[in-house]
Amino acid sequence: MTTSLLPVIGKPAPDFALPSTTGETIALRQFKGKKTVVLYFYPKDETPGCTREACDFRDYSADFDKFDTVILGVSTDGLESHQKFKDKHHLPFPLLADEDATVSKQYGVYKQRNLYGKKYMGIERTTFVIDRTGRIAQIYPKVKVEGHIQQLLEFVGGD
């Protein structure tokens, strides 16, 4: 019997350290004991769904702040792309560059995708809520952007 190393609700979230648009490397462990983390993985900067999702997080960032929750966005785009995306849309939270998909694979979101019959490897839009103890509190797989922010706010505000 093989055991999955992928994240499971109630289990510790895989730690990571990635370069970010803050100019520093951000590690998950730096938030342990301090804040709840909404870690959202998205396919690509400047695509319609990803832009809408990022702007929803931007528009509700003050609500997440009220619940002492930090938002971290992750994709395989590089820092230069992330910085342009962040600046263009005035995103108030860091974007993390997972260029080799190491963290995306740890979290089980780097999968075979299919676009117009063409198969490729990429990120499946997924959100993880990580509690102050560093454990996974909730997983939202195959996220539909519409209504997702409201789901998250209800969850993080329900403590």
Rounded CA-CA distance 34/54 in Å is 23
Rounded CA-CA distance 92/129 in Å is 18
- Catalytic one of 13, 50, 91, 96: 50
Residue 2's pLDDT is 41
Locate the domains of the chain by residue range: 17-152
- Mean pLDDT value across residues 1-21: 81
Residue 1's pLDDT is 41
Q: How many helices (H) and strands (E) does the chain have?
A: 5, 9
Whose CA is closest to 69, among 28, 129, 25, 148? 129
Q: Is the pLDDT score of 149 beyond 80?
A: yes
With bands split at pLDDT 50, 70 and 90, how would you rate the model's confidence at 5? low
- Mean pLDDT value across residues 30-35: 89
Q: Which fold has domain 17-152?
A: Glutaredoxin (3.40.30)
- Burial class from Cβ neighbours inside 10 Å (0-12, 13-18, 19+) for residue 84 reads middle
- Respond yes or no: is residue 55 known to be catalytic: no
For 96-144, how does the pLDDT look when each residue is reduced to its tens digit (9 = 90+)? 999 999 999 999 999 988 878 888 888 999 999 999 999 999 999 998 9
Residue 154 phi, psi (nearest 5): -65, -40
Q: What's the token pair of residue 109? A: 């979101």
Residue 32's pLDDT is 87
SS3 119: strand
